[in-house]
Structure 1
């Protein structure tokens, strides 16, 4: 046992902790660009009017008299031709897909109402839009 002179207490040195600043991690976020299927900017209008059925008589007649026209339209959109036969209200979904892919103004409720009350006209409009896009004539 160690003895200390009278009146002195042992001195214990506390360990010191040195805090070093943490290394900074820099995360760089880059925007992915160049996807032609997802154009940016303000929404555009449909290339043709909903009631412009006679603008393309071939599409008009196919929509009216060819029962498998929605299947052909789905194939033109690079979707399975079975979509119109397997999905209830498939034309509403197809219209929404074209709208979102090509930055066309509108919303899902508008698509539902238009398809419910003017189904043939809206199908014609969708067919014309898909053809315009495929031919590179859609308004950017």
Structure 2
């Protein structure tokens, strides 16, 4: 067997061209620079105080009710389980819930089909009554009450709308 010699390494691995010394056409291309500009350090002043927002008096208007002082909330005029204060309303809600909800929707200046066509309509209606009349509460509370006690919720909203419309004495309006 005879040994054959391999060609020198330059044949297999040519050196990369020198891009820095190459001249480029006149269209403005420049090869990428491998030199980075020196880092610039920016100093920030420490935060010594938080910005203060200015409070404004906001007027909320919902379904004809105007809240001139939205920061002062009141309780509902009747309790959730106050059905004995208005037996007629309680019986209407119990015996014919769809009709009762349609009537309640109309009283709230909503479409009579709201309660049967809009998912979560009862909760939305309760939130509307609560917000329009500056009643204490939260959306989470409204969700739980409308889910667990829908008939009691409907009756309470009806009593609230009646009491607000009549401005009954001794009802903390």
User: Structure 1-normalised TM-score?
Assistant: 0.71
Q: Rg bigger for which structure?
A: 2
CA distance in 2, matches of 1:34, 1:117: 29
CA distance in 1, matches of 2:60, 2:102: 30
User: Where in structure 2 are the equivalents of 1:37-52 lying within 5 Å?
Assistant: 37-40=66-69, 41-52=71-82
- Structure 2, unmatched stretches of 5+, are 1-55
Per the alignment, residue 92 of structure 1 pairs with 123
- Structure 1, unmatched stretches of 5+, are 1-29
CA contact (8 A) 1:39 1:103 kept: no
User: Where in structure 2 are the equivalents of 1:40-79 lying within 5 Å?
Assistant: 40=69, 41-66=71-96, 67-79=98-110
CA distance in 1, matches of 2:68, 2:132: 7
Q: Of the two structures, which has the highest relative contact order with CA contacts closer than 8 Å and spacing of 6 or more?
A: 1
Query: Runs of 4 or more off by more than 4 Å in structure 1?
Result: 30-36
Instruction: Give 1:32 deviation, angstroms.
Output: 6.9
User: Structure 2-normalised TM-score?
Assistant: 0.58
Q: Secondary structure at the match of 1:37?
A: strand
Residues 125 and 39 (structure 1), Cα distance of their counterparts in 2 relative to 1, 3 Å cut: farther
CA contact (8 A) 1:83 1:90 kept: yes
Aligned length: 111
CA distance in 2, matches of 1:59, 1:39: 30
Deviation sequence 1:42-74 (CA, Å, 0-9, x none) = 110000000111110111011101131011001
Residues 69 and 42 (structure 1), Cα distance of their counterparts in 2 relative to 1, 3 Å cut: same
Per the alignment, residue 106 of structure 1 pairs with 137
Residues 54 and 86 (structure 1), Cα distance of their counterparts in 2 relative to 1, 3 Å cut: same
CA distance in 1, matches of 2:95, 2:114: 19
Instruction: Give 1:139 deviation, angstroms.
Output: 2.8
